[in-house]
Structure 1
Amino acid sequence: MTPLAWLAIGLLVLVLLAIGLGAWRLRALSHRVGSFECGARRAGAAGAPWVAGIAHYGVGRIDWWRLWSVSIRPARTWSRYDLVIAGREPFVGDGPDTYLVRCRYHGQDFELTMSRAAYEGLASWLEAAPPGRRNVVV
């Protein structure tokens, strides 16, 4: 075989390995207890695309991972005590049981999309914080 053929085989193996790693990561994240599908974008960016992701409840925080990434670290982490739900409304386009949730964290506004069950879980989780730390507006 020529060196070019070996190079092509090596690149193919690397691509397949990256795809396999991404699929394993996605499965591991989505099958954790306390995980839910959650899209995110900056607030006020109506034309900006949504970034699909998976959020997971941690101890006193929510970690959010991009859906398609090979990173082993969350793209965002929001502390339970600093995350504020500023509002919610039905999200048109993803079905009747999807909400657009407006949030604020350290003065930065952003939006999340999630199922009704995921929103109810998030609101309950924030409301169950110790007294004086409840940050649910809606």
Structure 2
Amino acid sequence: MDWFGLAETVALIVVVALLLPVLYLGGRRRWLSRQGGLFDCSLRLSSKGPGAGWALGVARYSGDNLEWFRAFSVALRPKVIFPRSISRAGVQRDPDPIESVLLYDDQRILTMELSDGRSWEMAMSVASLTGLLSWLESAPPGARYR
């Protein structure tokens, strides 16, 4: 094999190595969207400082659960699950200037409170927020909204 053939092989390996993660993330998002209603939703995983701890992700409705997945992850399981029976919508607010740089444009922040005492901040579009609030309030007959 001459020098030119070796350079072509190395270039092909580099292109494939760069394309595989992009194709996997696209396929993962498509697979997640087939399992239920999917929307962009950032989650605050840590509140150590102002604007800190936000992770971009997607959330989907799966039966009586809201499942949150990191956007750039290889995991096929959700990072956080919010069961409808123990979840409650808390305070809504606009992102502060530091947070608005980290989040998508035109998002609102909602505090999701669980009956076990935990709370999470979620950032999503106004349309997704309306859908989430409707989903929380529309529990099936016999289920109790907290």
Decide: shared fold, TM above 0.5: yes
What is the Cα deviation at residue 88 of structure 1?
0.8
Please name the residue that 1:122 is paired with.
Answer: 132
Deviations 1:27-77 (A, max 9, x none): 433576511110001464434231011100011101111101111111111
Contact 1:89 1:100 in 2 (8 A): yes
For normalisation by structure 2, the TM-score amounts to 0.73
Give the direction of change, closer, same or farther, for the CA distance of 1:31–1:58 in structure 2 (3 Å limit): closer
RMSD in angstroms over aligned alpha carbons? 2.8
Q: Tell me how far apart the structure 2 counterparts of residues 66 and 43 of structure 1 sit (CA, whole Å).
A: 14
**How many pairs are equivalent?**
133
Q: SS at the partner of 1:81? A: helix
Partner of residue 29 from structure 2, selected from 22, 26, 31? 26
Q: Which amino acid aligns with 2:78?
A: P
Contact 1:43 1:111 in 2 (8 A): no
What is the Cα deviation at residue 91 of structure 1?
2.8
The yes-or-no answer on 1:100 pairing with 2:103 is no
Q: Which has more radius of gyration?
A: 2
Q: Which amino acid aligns with 1:72?
A: L
Give the direction of change, closer, same or farther, for the CA distance of 1:33–1:13 in structure 2 (3 Å limit): same
For normalisation by structure 1, the TM-score amounts to 0.76
Give the direction of change, closer, same or farther, for the CA distance of 1:40–1:72 in structure 2 (3 Å limit): same
The percentage of aligned residue pairs carrying the same residue is 32
Please name the residue that 2:68 is paired with.
Answer: 64
Partner of residue 121 from structure 2, selected from 111, 122, 126? 111
**Between 45-54 and 55-64, the greater mean CA deviation after superposition:** 45-54
Q: Which amino acid aligns with 1:127?
A: E
